[in-house]
Amino acid sequence: MTTIASPLAPRATALEVVQGIDLSGKTAVVTGASSGIGVETARALLTAGASVMLAVRDTQKGEKVAAELRESTGNQEARVIQLDLGSLAQVREGAGRILDAAPAIHILINNAGIMATPQGQTPDGFETQFGTNHLGHFLLTELLMPALLAAALARVVALSSSGHRRSDIVWDDINFEGRPYDRWDAYGQSKTANALFAVGLTQKYGARGVTANAVHPGGIMTGLQKHVSLEEQRAMGWQDESGGLNPVFKTTEEGASTTVWAATSPQLEGMGGLFLEDLQESTPLDPQNPDPMFGHKPYARDPGNAARLWALSKELVGDYR
Ligand SMILES: NC(=O)c1ccc[n+]([C@@H]2O[C@H](COP(=O)([O-])OP(=O)(O)OC[C@H]3O[C@@H](n4cnc5c(N)ncnc54)[C@H](OP(=O)(O)O)[C@@H]3O)[C@@H](O)[C@H]2O)c1
């Protein structure tokens, strides 16, 4: 099977990925750019000359990040937009602010995310991780679609995770109403939804020039682990007793590289519905001999699953046209 791969090493940084790439005149939106790999994603896009909207829920935090990015990249086109993905009403408001500021969007990075949260529901009644990680981004992307279509060619990147392996979409109980809540299954389901979203978006809009790919960025210590206790992190082998990180963890600069590759590489022009990791196309996981780090479960790229999730998501978020 032929897969696409960057000529760079799997642990290259996002800044290495944009070397030689000119994004001047292009507009990018990065959700969750107030911390972690979203910041490094925005930094690389700004370095390549793009105008970047940092779509964040905490604008004070976002403004500090934007000021540092303007200073370090020399690109003054870092702008903060308020966006909370946890509520559909807030997504509608945030999308309106983005559309007011950008008639055309060339790159949309659906990066914001939460992981392993305690059981809860969004104000709209959805399980918190599915509601925030998937439905918030689904609605945002659909609302921004006129600006993506206006860009003529636009790329969307959906941050998934190797955590998708934990759960397919449980169609008859997405919100854990009839089964005990498991925060890792809920994260896994939401990350499978992110991967299927890339397939569904490309099915629906690919012929009109808007494509999406899913990315597993690798393991990176960021704000994402805040709901995972130190004891759990040690038990899972993420850290040792003295706080030493397992060497499989990437830096945030390395963690942003596959996202930035998906968003900018000429190698991926016009391509969508892929699952990317370590600067290459991922391969289906061998059920007999699963690699602990690399590979995706086929259900996360299944076209029928993707079409079903698209239709369901549309119904769940309600009218947006
Ligand atoms: N780090 C990893 O090992 C890893 C592995 C696989 C996949 N990923 C994925 O990579 C993405 C980025 O994660 P990260 O590691 O950079 O984590 P992070 O540092 O926690 O960043 C996540 C960002 O999402 C934002 N966010 C959370 N809830 C939001 C909401 N309701 N509305 C708007 N923004 C919200 C956070 O905002 P605040 O700053 O306000 O909290 C933060 O800026 C996530 O989608 C994650 O699932 C990460």
Q: Is 299 a catalytic residue?
A: no
Assigned domain for 2 exists: no
Assigned domain for 213 exists: yes
Q: Residues 261, 18: contact at Cβ < 8 Å?
A: no
**pLDDT per residue as tens digits for the range 41-73:** 999 999 999 999 999 999 999 999 999 999 999
**pLDDT per residue as tens digits for the range 9-39:** 999 999 999 999 999 999 999 999 999 999 9
Assigned domain for 114 exists: yes
Assigned domain for 5 exists: no
The residue to mutate among 69, 192, 215, 224, having the most atoms of ligand 1 within 8 angstroms of its beta carbon, is: 224
Assigned domain for 105 exists: yes
State if pTM tops 0.95: yes
Q: Report the nearest atom of ligand 1 relative to the CA of 250.
A: 3
Q: Is 26 a catalytic residue?
A: no
Assigned domain for 9 exists: no
Please tell me the distance between residue 110's alpha carbon and the centre of ligand 1 in angstroms. 10
Assigned domain for 6 exists: no
pLDDT band at 1, cuts 50/70/90? low
- The residue range of the domain holding 296 is 16-285+292-316
Q: What is the mean pLDDT of residues 71-79?
A: 98
Q: Is 297 a catalytic residue?
A: no
Write the CATH number for 56. 3.40.50.720
Q: Report the nearest atom of ligand 1 relative to the CA of 249.
A: 3
Assigned domain for 202 exists: yes
Q: Answer whether 188 contacts ligand 1 (Cβ < 6 A).
A: no
Counting the structural domains of the chain, the total is 1
Single-letter amino acid code for the residue at 313: S
Can you spell out the DSSP letters for 295-317?
Answer: -B-GGGG-HHHHHHHHHHHHHHH
